[in-house]
Structure 1
Amino acid sequence: MREQLQEHLLKRVNQYVTHTRNHSDEKIERKKESLAKRKGEIVKVKATGNITDTIDEKESAKAFYQVHFQYLINHKGNLYIEEEIEERVAEFYKDVLVEDQEINPFESRDIELFYDEEVSEERAGFKYDRLKAVKYAEVWWNDFNPAFKKFDVDCTNYISQCLHAGNAPMTGYPNRSKGWWMQNNNWSYSWTVANSLRWYLPNAKSGLRAEIVASADMLEIGDVVCYDFQGDGRFDHTTIVVAKDKDGMPLVNAHTQNSRMRYWAYEDSTAYTPNIKYKFLHILDDQAAGIKVR
């Protein structure tokens, strides 16, 4: 069975590259349509794959595998590489492929959890280092820092780590419904749950906090975009701005569906719906508020 799985993986990866050239794959089409609106194009694509797990039974088998896409994007003369990891599962019966589908990482939505009132800040102030936050986002976009707990839905945990790498201080430990923290194999809701972080950041009074801005182009590197894919008021996903395109629009990194330098709107995502809503959060620090930073 292992031979059939490897053969299918190789065939699937080759199909992705061919489909990119021939304009015949739904995933690629969505990305091309999004780029066309920005007057950009995919110049070249590279896809590599690996099997991450298998389930073998008497006559059937499942192969869980990843496809790592690298897109060379030309946006108004500016070339950059966008990367994305797609999780898939292929099912075989008597060595014959019966189904192959993408695993939607956002089907299992975050529990709707909120924090209580914000606790007082233990430090006099902090200066948010946006470059350090982005550097961390680049190092760990497709990996997991062993210093932190890993989650199946890891997007907000990853963003929190990026913010902390930018000098944002933890507050509120050990109350999970207060502040923003991860310590001693425990964590606040705001650290790990997309919906909680979306509400926490603009309401916090000290430490890590943010202001909501009106549009994506107002964000800086190190800022945060929150996504409500269904438009029902519960936010499912969080990304961090790591760069800007030629129009000054954000390119973001993310976990859960690991992505790097992805256009912020997520129009090419399988989770995208016409009802999608966004929150654009500009991170504030104490220096900007006129508080002396140690």
Structure 2
Amino acid sequence: MIRKWMEPFQDHMQHWVNFQLNNTKKKPEKTIPQETEMLRRFKQSIERRQAEVLKIKIIFQPYRIHRYGRQENISYQLQLARVLKVKNAYHIEEQVLYRMMKTHDGHLIIDKALPESPQPAHHIFQPLEQGGRSFAYDRREAVQYAETWWNDYNPQYETFTDNCTNFISQCLRAGNAPMRGQPDRSQGWWYQNQNWSYSWAVAHSFRWYLSSSTAGLTAKEVEEATDLALGDVICYDFNGDDRWQHSTIVTSFDGNGEPLVNAQTTNSRARYWTYEDSTAWTPNIRYKFFRIGQDVK
């Protein structure tokens, strides 16, 4: 049975797509102001990068419907793929978005993105110095892991609601990053027997670990995103209050030589590194750029 709200929802989604493709200047009417602003930032970013969105494909998958009399709240997953051209280079950016629409008597009232939920907790770990300083970081294996698992979950590891840093740690481990500090969760960077350090799974702890570690997994902070290489890491403080909430890994570069990243929580592949198209973005956002390992001059 085709629900009454399906046709207006499809019209709305087509408008949502056409606005991003610049096929219409009229903003989608059923999105909340926060998301309209997000779409505006996305389009400004595309223009600034001298990029072009050539095609957008979406797949709609509802997974929960709540009925309240004549009103329905539909939670759904939207698989989004954008084909982008940046100068003479092409790439496909993919995201899995979780959204909710409200309808009344089959009329679409509002459609909005569910918030990306950055990790609220942060923990202080104590640096633990042991072992040698250098290690051979296999960037290709780290990137391959990120490409394989960006929208799936390796059963060898625990999965969290906010899984971004856990995912990045898995990528680094696949690239031969050495663990240390077991079994003290406040020390080092490690995962062992379904237990883990704070720095393995908590974005804030992970950011400070990368800044201070001189043994095991080590990194060098650099000034610009364009200083990064494949397999390197970006950390995000969305609110600019020194509470670091998100982590991504560089998996490719666009036609301007800027990083494209893979991440989880909002599962993303080849996403432009600035995250201007995120509901978590604020004008106060801060970034930290880390070259992984000691193969950097």
TM-score greater than 0.5 by the shorter chain: yes
| Structure 1 residue 13 corresponds to structure 2 residue 24 | no
> Match for 1:219 among 182, 205, 228?
228
Q: 1:157 aligns with which of 157, 166, 179?
A: 166
Task: Compare 217-226 and 200-209 and name the one that shifted more.
Answer: 200-209
TM-aligned CA distance change 1:210 to 1:8, over 3 Å: farther
1:71 is matched with 82
Whether 1:115 and 2:117 are equivalent positions in the alignment is no
Q: 1:248 aligns with which of 242, 247, 257?
A: 257
1:18 deviates by 2.9
The alpha carbon displacement at 1:125 in A equals 5.6
The amino acid that maps onto 2:271 is R
What displacement does 1:99 show?
A: 3.3
Q: 1-side partners of 2:240 and 2:67: how far apart? A: 39
If the length of structure 1 is used for normalisation, what is the TM-score? 0.88
1:83 aligns to what?
Answer: 94
Q: Is the 1:32–1:41 contact (alpha carbons within 8 Å) kept by the matching residues of 2?
A: no
1:47 aligns with 2:58: yes
- Gap regions ≥5 residues in structure 1: 290-294
Cα distance in 2, alignment partners of residues 207 and 96 from structure 1: 57
Q: Do the aligned residues in 1 keep the contact of 2:135 with 2:293 (CA within 8 Å)?
A: no
By how many angstroms is 1:194 displaced?
A: 0.8
Structure 1 residue 42, shift from structure 2 partner: 0.8
Q: For residues 116-172 of structure 1, give each alpha carbon's deviation from its aligned partner in whole angstroms, at most 9, with x where no partner exists.
A: 122523x89631000100011111111211221111111111111111111112222
* Residue in structure 2 matched with residue 292 of structure 1 by the alignment: none
CA distance in 2, matches of 1:185, 1:199: 23
Bigger drift between 151-160 and 59-68 goes to 59-68
Q: Contact 2:135–2:178 at 8 Å: present in 1 too? A: yes
Query: In structure 2, what is the Cα distance between the partners aligned to 1:190 and 1:90?
Result: 36
What amino acid sits opposite 2:24 in the alignment? Answer: N
Alpha-carbon distance in structure 1 between the residues aligned to 2:270 and 2:264: 12
Number of residue pairs aligned between Structure 1 and Structure 2: 285
Shift of 1:10: 4.0
Gapped regions of structure 2 (runs ≥ 5): 28-35
> For residue 229 of structure 1, what is the aligned residue in structure 2?
238
* SS state at 2:256 partner: coil
Identity of aligned residues (%): 42
- The reply on whether 1:280 has 2:289 as its aligned counterpart is yes
- Provide, for residues 54-111 of structure 1, a one-character-per-residue CA deviation record: whole Å limited to 9, x for no partner: 33456554322121221111111111111122211123456554432111113x5431
Query: TM-score scaled by structure 2?
Result: 0.87
Q: Which amino acid aligns with 2:234?
A: V
Preserved contact between residue 201 and residue 209 of structure 1 (Cα < 8 Å): yes
